[in-house]
Structure 1
Amino acid sequence: MNYDDLVVVMRRLALEAGDKIMEIYNSDDFDVKQKSDDSPVTVADEAADALISAGLRSAFPDVMLVTEEQAESHSATGDTFLIVDPLDGTKEFINRRGDFTVNIAYVEAGVPTRGVVYAPARDRMFYTLADGSAVEEKGPFSKNEVGETTALKVAESDNSALLVVASKSHRDQATDDYINKYSVKDTRSAGSSLKFCLVATGEADLYPRVGRTMEWDTAAGHAVLAGAGGRVVRFDDHSPLRYGKEGFANPFFIAHAPAVELKDA
């Protein structure tokens, strides 16, 4: 894989998908349907997926592609692939809360090594460079010209005063019980894969997820966090979270800055 080409293509497709999503988001109305697993899907999910998939298949025809909105891709097997969630945080989108993202990632040997997370309604974009390091680009964004970027680095966490981020749509008692094991200075809620990015920027120290997620939900944010020096581990044994699992389903996990002293589940 040519990482320079990969970064250019992922960034451009994320911006193009974001434009399409915002066009629908700002319209008076849009259709919401239910998928077979009862999760919602909108015309924005489908339009962004078509755009991104076509772009990735054109640029990287020999690389396996897994995308949330194409069920036939969920039976693919391998540990090196491109993986896409064209609109992560559909509930945030439907409720017009803004915390939704475009996620595109490249997984190598089970590890997300490159990715882009773009939050078009928040004007925030995070991605990995060709060398694997992570940056946030400052808007307004241009598809043809990269703007000012800031290198991302996780916080030097203070375990007596941790900043925790948790899901906005999936917060539950099990999550709160785990968070309560720590000395917490503040807790904030965020939607979609933005939670990974808040740990990557140092705006949070810890993001525990005690609930169902799929690899397309997490791979891009995982790559960005890793590029900023962070880690994503399984909730049960704190081993690294791997990708290319059967059905692309994740176990519970913890995303964190390395200085955080993790508590047992």
Structure 2
Amino acid sequence: MDLPFMKELALEAGEIGLKHFGRVTKHYKKDRSIVTAADIEIEHLILKRIRGRYPSHGIVAEETASSSAHSGPHMWAVDPVDGTQAFSFGFPFWAISIGFLENGAPTKGVVYQPAIDEMYSGDRGGVFLNGQPLGPAEELPLDQDSYLMVPESLHNKYKYSWKGDCLSLGSVAAHCAYVARGCAVGAISRAFIWDLAAGAALMEPLGIHSRYLDGREINWPELYGGKRLPAPCLSAKPGHWPSIAACFHQWETE
């Protein structure tokens, strides 16, 4: 399994996304989340390519959820348009998110933002932005100017005492990419495996760990069935992780 294949997939998917971008008809799923023709077309392309090349691998994807998930050692986690709401309203920070997990852990990831032409790719051998290596970002002190990537529902579902700046772009995968890049000190989410797996694979080689806010490690295989993370997750460097986590005191359940 190689990153060039994943990057080719993301580029093909991006072309489809750009074809639809700005000309979107929204539909609502049973959970009231938005789906568009681009989501369906891109997911069909990616799943067809993966199944054709790696027929024994499992796949969990947003629009088909657990229909092809399994408990084997090789699993793909695919979000055809991460940030569909942003995409449908014309914001450019949506992403194609393709993650690969081996033996229950994310090991390879591609996050591609077609509207701004930023391709993040990586594995344990290195992480890249448009082909240029990203090194571990300097661990700066946390202060009022520090950016934390957060859900758009932060004000409704969290009680927090974070004194820095909060930013939401509407895409968990994009949030992870910007943390990997060093633009933000961390990211909080309570998403699905297809939102987070690729980003986790990009962040981990750079020393950025993803754990639940209570400190528990993520059990990735328990998410293969398409369930939302059971608790909020924080991705940050070890030196920042406890200080950021301590600022978020309660999760308001849905």
Same fold (TM over 0.5): yes
Q: Residue by residue, what CA displacement relative to the aligned partner does 1:156-202 show, whole Å, maximum 9, x if unpaired? A: 13134562323363332444x33x24x52x33332211111111111
Task: Note if contact 1:79-1:243 (Cα within 8 Å) is conserved in structure 2.
Answer: no
Q: Residue by residue, what CA displacement relative to the aligned partner does 1:121-144 show, whole Å, maximum 9, x if unpaired? A: 122111114x4421111xxxxxxx
The aligned counterpart of 2:209 is 231
1:40-189 equivalent positions in 2, closer than 5 A: 40-73=34-67, 76-78=70-72, 80-129=74-123, 131-137=124-130, 148-160=131-143, 163-167=146-150, 169-175=152-158, 177-178=159-160, 180-181=161-162, 183-184=163-164, 186-189=165-168
Pick closer, same or farther for the CA change 1:161–1:155 going to 2, 3 Å: farther
Secondary structure of 1:213's aligned partner:
coil
Pick closer, same or farther for the CA change 1:241–1:154 going to 2, 3 Å: farther
The aligned counterpart of 1:39 is 33
Task: Note if contact 1:103-1:118 (Cα within 8 Å) is conserved in structure 2.
Answer: yes
In structure 1, what is the Cα distance between the partners aligned to 2:241 and 2:58?
37
Task: Note if contact 2:59-2:77 (Cα within 8 Å) is conserved in structure 1.
Answer: yes
The aligned counterpart of 1:259 is 239
Residue 234 of structure 1: how far off its partner (Å): 0.6
The aligned counterpart of 1:143 is none
Residue 18 of structure 1: how far off its partner (Å): 0.5
1:206 lines up with 2:186 in the alignment: yes
Pick closer, same or farther for the CA change 1:152–1:119 going to 2, 3 Å: farther
Secondary structure of 1:150's aligned partner:
strand
Secondary structure of 2:67's aligned partner:
helix
In structure 2, what is the Cα distance between the partners aligned to 1:127 and 1:198?
12
Task: Note if contact 1:112-1:220 (Cα within 8 Å) is conserved in structure 2.
Answer: yes
Secondary structure of 1:221's aligned partner:
helix
In structure 1, what is the Cα distance between the partners aligned to 2:64 and 2:240?
37
Task: Note if contact 2:76-2:99 (Cα within 8 Å) is conserved in structure 1.
Answer: yes
Unaligned runs of 5+ in 1: 138-147
Number of residue pairs the alignment of both structures matches: 241
Residue 190 of structure 1, aligned match among 144, 165, 169: 169
Q: Which moved more, 1:159-168 or 1:59-68?
A: 159-168
Q: Residue by residue, what CA displacement relative to the aligned partner does 1:184-236 show, whole Å, maximum 9, x if unpaired? A: 2x333322111111111111112123xx4111111111111112221101112
Q: Which moved more, 1:164-173 or 1:81-90?
A: 164-173
Residue 39 of structure 1: how far off its partner (Å): 1.1
1:12 lines up with 2:8 in the alignment: yes
Aligned partner letter, 1:15: L
The aligned counterpart of 1:144 is none
Residue 22 of structure 1, aligned match among 18, 21, 28: 18
Q: Which moved more, 1:162-171 or 1:219-228?
A: 162-171
Aligned partner letter, 2:9: L
What TM-score does the superposition give when structure 1 sets the normalisation length? 0.83
The aligned counterpart of 1:140 is none
What TM-score does the superposition give when structure 2 sets the normalisation length? 0.86
Root mean square deviation of aligned Cα: 2.1
In structure 1, what is the Cα distance between the partners aligned to 2:221 and 2:66?
15
In structure 2, what is the Cα distance between the partners aligned to 1:19 and 1:64?
25
Write out the 4+ residue segments of structure 1 that deviate beyond 6 Å after TM superposition: none
Residue 92 of structure 1: how far off its partner (Å): 0.3
